[in-house]
Each structure stands twice: as C-alpha cells, then as structure tokens.
Amino acid sequence: MKTNQDHQRIAAAFERLFRTYGPLGQGSTPEEITRDRIERIKVYFDAVAIYLEDDVEAAVEAVLTGSAAGMNPNFAPPAPAFAGECRRQMNMRLRRAELARLGHPRLPPPDIEKTDEQRQRARAKMEAAIDSLSSGTALESAESLAASKARWEKVNTMFHPDMSDEAIAERLLGRRPFDVGAPESDEAAA
C-alpha cells in the first residue's frame, strides 16, 4: 500500500463526493452511524491507496459530472467501481504525459560551433577517402565490365540466332534431335 498519500486531500475529495449523495452510514444511533460511516470510508481509502491524489480528485470530478463510464449518477459508486475510475483517470494522465514527451527531443542539440575552416578540412578528408576507395576498384570495374559484355554476347547469340534462310532451313529441316517413338516414323526415316 502507498503510505505517502496526502490523506487530507483525499478526504476532502471523498467529502465532496459523499456530500452529493447524502449521508453515508446506517444505524439507529449516532454512534452506530458514525462507526458505519468510518468503516465505509476506510474501504474507499483502501481501494484508492495505490493512486495519486490527482487521480482520486479527477475520479471524483468524473463521477460528479457524470462522465465516469459505467456508473449510475443516481447513487454513490461502490469502492471497487470508484477505484476503477481512479485507474482510468491515472491511465489518461499517463497517456497525456507520454504524448507531451513525444513532442520534445530527448537530447538537446550539441553546443559545438563549426567554423568554415573545419568544414573545408572535413570535406577534403572525405573526398580523399572516396578517391582512395574508388581508385583500387577502377581496374576491377573494367575487368568486370568486359566479363559482363562477354556473358551478354553469349546470351544474345543464344536468343537471337542467325535468321538467314539457310540457317532457318537447317534449324527446321535439319537433323531431328528427338524421336516421338512411333514405329511408322522410324521406318519412314530409314
């Protein structure tokens, strides 16, 4: 249980809530009414022990304005239902805080001032690094380009054959690479 709550603020919030709904307590004598009232308020304090005072006050406000979900505004809410409203108010508060944090950067921008001389020196170093990295690959690039051209020539000769009349006739009427397996064709071919 949370022990560092401001019980005065929570008691004031409960007083505001119960003042709206009439007396809280049953009995025939004033002592019994007071004892019953203390027992009931103690149950409410136990139900909201884990919530902040702001959450409890927001829950009281939600109950009094009728915006608390699932509660009948004609009757005082039971302690568990009121604790559920406190949880809802806590979740809404945490969500608002999270959304507020998202709008702000986590780290401030660095306080380093760059001069033009430093920028030019850095640019020169980057250009030197690029030149040194690309010079070793120029020869490899030429060799890989020649190999690529040779592969493409081979592919193009396969898919773009000679289209002269003699070459077409040779491909269509030339030797038969396969047999269909019919005996008549074997005799006709012989």
Cβ neighbours for 5, distance < 8 A, ≥ 6 positions apart = 49, 52, 53
> Would you call 78 helix, strand, or coil by DSSP?
coil
pLDDT tens per residue, range 63-82: 999 888 888 888 889 999 99
pLDDT by residue (tens digit) across 131-153?
Answer: 887 766 666 677 888 888 999 88
- pTM of structure: 0.51
State the residue range of the domain holding 30. Answer: 7-102
**CA 96 – CA 55 distance, rounded (Å):** 13
Residue 39 parent element (H or E): helix 30-47
Burial 148-171 (b: 16+ CB within 10 A, else e): eeeeeeeeeeeeeeeeeeeeeeee
Sign of CA dihedral 104, 105, 111, 116: negative
Q: Is 173 within a domain?
A: no
User: What's the confidence (pLDDT) of residue 136?
Assistant: 63
CA atoms of 190 and 186, how far apart (whole Å): 6
Summary mean pLDDT of the chain: 82
Give the residue from 54, 117, 118, 45 showing the smallest Cα distance to 83.
45
Residue 57 lies in a domain: yes
Predicted confidence (pLDDT) per residue in 5-64, tens digit: 788 898 888 888 888 876 555 556 777 777 877 888 889 999 999 999 999 999 999 999
Domain membership flag for residue 177: no
For residue 58, being part of any structural domain is answered with yes
Residue 169 within a domain: no
The count of structural domains within the chain is 1
